[in-house]
Structures are given as structure tokens and as C-alpha cells.
Structure 1
Amino acid sequence: MNERSDATPDERRTVKVSKYLSKHLRHQPERIGITLDANGWVPIDELMRAAAENGFRFTRAELDHVVAVNDKRRFTIDGDRIRANQGHTVEVDLGLPRAEPPEYLYHGTGVRSLDAIRAEGLRPMSRHDVHLSPDRETATRVGARRGRPVVLSVRSGAMHRAGHIFQVSANGVWLTAAVPPQFISFPDS
């Protein structure tokens, strides 16, 4: 959820709550004193209490709204608990089953990353897995966060047949440990 310059106050608030949730459900739960369980879940009342104690109050209605309207479907609510769907830098096991990917998946990146990707392939960097998109449009939006986007085609079907493991998160993001360079088609190749 990127904030637009013409965003309404309600839209800006939604973005602010979404970013707060991402930070604490994916990267720094300890910063506000919450503990994610082994699968990344935290009780909603615990999250809201900790956020309020740390100076960031939001209502359950705001939380539900953020989960419902987030264009990337970053969060899942299950009863009285919430978690981020993927993108964690803290250790969690999302419990996602292995899945057979489509023949091609896509990865959006910036031009400045291409040399490293050509040499080393796609690596998870600070995350647990490499994130792949099911379509070029999504990959383009992801890549645009890093400047002029470049969309790489990943021969995910061939990777799967070669023994690489894939999972798909609740929001449709495909996850794999790494993508070796031989499975990547670059725009100029």
C-alpha cells in the first residue's frame, strides 16, 4: 500500500496502519513487546495492547479494514489472531505445503541488481525465501519500488522438475529458497 500524494486522510491512515503491522508482524515484533508463535501468529488483543502501549493506537475496525483492502493481501486474520503472509525477516514457519508451480513465475527488481543476479541468481537476502509473482504486472509493481523495474522470467516448472521446492502463500506469492541463474531469463537474453 503505497501512499499517493492525492490520498485522503483515511487512505493515509490505512497506509500508516499497514506499514506498522508489516514492521511488527514481519520484522521487529520485539520492538513493541510481542512474541510471534512458531507460525508467525499473535493474538489480536495482544498486538493492539502492545501497539497502544507504544504510542500507536488503532481500532479493531481499522485493523479489519487494513487486512481487507491491502492490495498485496499481506495479512491474514484467523479468529482472534493475525499474522503476515510472508516476507518475514524473523524466524517463523508459515507451515505452507509444497506446491507445484506454473511453468513460469516472475521476479521484479531494479536495474542495479542485474549484475549480481546474473552471477548469483536470486537469493532471499534478509528474508527467508525468494518471492516470485504469478504475473508480470505484479512483478513490475514490485520492481518499481527499486527504481526503473526489470521483470525477470523464472523457469519455475523446470526448477521444480530439478528438485527445487516451492510454496505459495495465502496471498499468491510463490516462495522458494533461491533461484539459480540458469533458471532465469533476462530481458536482453
Structure 2
Amino acid sequence: MLDQHKEKSLSKLISKMLRHTPKAFGLALDPEDGSCTLDALLASIQAQPRWGWVTKEHIELVVRQSDKQRFEIIDARIRARYGHSHDRVSYAPADPPAILYHGTNKNALPSILLEGLKPMGRQYVHLSEGTHFATLAGSRRGELVILEVDTDSARQAGVTFYYAGNEVWLADHVPAASCAMMRTDKEL
């Protein structure tokens, strides 16, 4: 069993390994889906100072407990579902619900309402089916603002949506005309 601090630290390490700098840890991810074997991830984690105690069960616990369901394990392979800043992971185009949500901070709002949603340091713009994930993502960097994205309007403007799993949707860009401010954290 992991205490909360160790679980959070291990989750951050796995995120760094699978989402941001896999090569720095000696991991070769599948170029199509960004996965590697659970055994390869475990060996890379255990090779890090202070992490030799980690077991497969610890990794599986982190995957199950992740509030944003960042990771998934399928057939002894693990991957980050979204949030990659390294090589681009491919997803199949899919038809999203009519409205998706994006959490951001108040300081970013003027730029978004002018230029739309951009992936910034990530490979895709992250959107969610409900406000829960949008709130988790947007509340990390200042006063929260939740945006509603009209997916029909965005698709008419040429946006392709991709389903990453667990209510998370991705897009290359969302035009400003498809975004509307829903509420701020003071209204939540």
C-alpha cells in the first residue's frame, strides 16, 4: 500500500516518463499509441534513485487511483491517455458530444477569446465531457474559468476531435468563435 504522498510522487514520475521525457529514462514508446510494456516502465522506475521499492502493484494502484485517469493498462502495456509534450501520439477521429468543456485560468481568457484554444506545450488541446476534469485541469494555475466548446461550430470550422478515453477529448485547435465562457471559480 502507498501513502498519499508516495502515490502522488509516483504518479508524477510516471507522467514525466510517459508524457514528457521517455527517452531520458531509457523508454522507447510505441509511436502509434505512446505505450510501453508494464515491465519496461517498472524497470525504468526501479533504475531511478529512491524508486527501487516500486512494484507492478504500485503502478497499477496509481493507474486506478488517478483522479484524471491519465493512464491505462491494456494487455500488460501502459500508456498515458493524453497530455503528451514529446512525440505526437495518434488517435482516431471521433464524434464528440455537442458541448465539451475546457478549464483554464482568468489570465489566459483574453487570449483564448481572441485566438481560440491552442495546445500550448502539449500535442493537443484538452477538453472534457463534464466540468469535473475541466475544473481539475483549470484550477492549477490561478482563478478558474470554465469554457464551453460548441463542437458542431468547431467541426464546421474544420476541427477534428479525438477521443482519448474517460471523458477526455482532444483537438489540434479550437477557434475562438466556438468557445464561450461558462463560469469562473467564484461561481462554482
Q: Which residue of 2 aligns with 1:183?
A: 178
Q: Which residue of 2 aligns with 1:68?
A: 64
Match of 1:41 among 30, 35, 39: 35
Pairing 1:108–2:103 present = yes
Q: Which residue of 2 aligns with 1:150?
A: 145
C-alpha distance 104-37 of structure 1, shift in aligned 2 (>3 A): same
Q: Cα RMSD (Å) of the superposition?
A: 1.7
C-alpha contact 1:101 1:160 (8 A) present in aligned 2: no
| More deviation, 48-57/118-127 | 48-57
In structure 2, how many angstroms separate the alpha carbons of the residues matched to 1:64 and 1:137? 23
TM-score (norm 2): 0.89
Q: Read off the aligned partner of 2:102 and give its amino acid letter.
A: H
TM-score (norm 1): 0.88
Q: After TM superposition, give the deviation of residue 187 of structure 1 in Å.
A: 4.5
The residue correspondences of 1:21-32 to structure 2 (distance < 5 A) are 21-32=14-25
In structure 2, how many angstroms separate the alpha carbons of the residues matched to 1:166 and 1:72? 19
- Structure 1, residues 98-133: CA drift from partner, whole Å, max 9, x if none? 111111111110111112112211000111110011
| More deviation, 140-149/122-131 | 140-149
In structure 2, how many angstroms separate the alpha carbons of the residues matched to 1:79 and 1:135? 29
Q: After TM superposition, give the deviation of residue 32 of structure 1 in Å.
A: 1.3
In structure 1, how many angstroms separate the alpha carbons of the residues matched to 2:27 and 2:132? 35
Match of 1:135 among 130, 137, 153: 130
Task: Report the structure, 1 or 2, having the larger strand content.
Answer: 2
Q: Specify every segment of 5 or more residues in structure 1 that has no aligned partner in the other structure, as ranges.
A: 1-7
- Structure 1, residues 11-63: CA drift from partner, whole Å, max 9, x if none? 11111111110011000111211111112111121111122222223111101
Q: Which residue of 2 aligns with 1:81?
A: 77
Q: Read off the aligned partner of 1:64 and give its amino acid letter.
A: E
Q: After TM superposition, give the deviation of residue 168 of structure 1 in Å.
A: 0.9
C-alpha distance 162-120 of structure 1, shift in aligned 2 (>3 A): closer
Q: Which residue of 2 aligns with 1:19?
A: 12
Q: Which residue of 2 aligns with 1:174?
A: 169
